Amino acid sequence: MSIFKANLYLESIYDLDIDLLKQKGIKYLFLDIDNTLAGYGKKTPDKKMAEFLLSLQQAGFKLFVISNNTRKRVANFCESLKIAHYSMAIKPFSFTYRHIIKKFNLDPLAIACIGDQYFTDVIGAKRLKLIVIFVVPISKHDDIITTMLRPLEKKIFTYQMKHKKIKIGEFNDKV
């Protein structure tokens, strides 16, 4: 079950504590779009999200959007914000993560990956031993594959909460 355990669980990405990230040495954020930054299929960030992402950039974080969605979808979402973006990432496979780390010469210990799915975002980041921040999905609308996996993800989350393996908002270094 440790492959499903994140370092931090949040109700929303807006609960992200910038000071905590800096204290943990995080400089780079790998972000998912659908149901992490915006509702599934939402073409562009709303004003609140755009301002939030800008505040992360102004705080000194380099942002990278990594999505399994199409090139057009991801580019439409990211380009107005000038965020580096990667589509068709085929998460949980790690080659997109590895490509970004190598291309930008990033320190893996300074990366946090933020997403809403165990079977893509969490496992993908855990394969490279990156910091993982799990956020509760924004909406219940998903693609067909994710829709089929959500009941199992909910069982994993419930199990972790029930057995006190996680606590919302509490950072865990030992995962």
Sequence spans of domains, the chain: 2-162
Give the CA angle between residues 20, 49, 5 to the nearest 5°: 45
Average pLDDT of 61-77? 94
pLDDT given for residue 1 in this prediction:
65
Q: How confident is the model at residue 75 (pLDDT cuts 50, 70, 90)?
A: very high
Structure tokens at 73: 């979808």
Q: How far is CA 35 from CA 25, 82, 128, 138, 160, in A?
A: 26, 20, 23, 5, 21
Structure tokens at 31: 């972000």
Contact 122, 134 (CB under 8 A): yes
pLDDT given for residue 157 in this prediction:
75
Mean pLDDT of the chain: 88
CATH 3.20.20.70 is right for the domain spanning 2-162: no
Average pLDDT of 127-151? 79
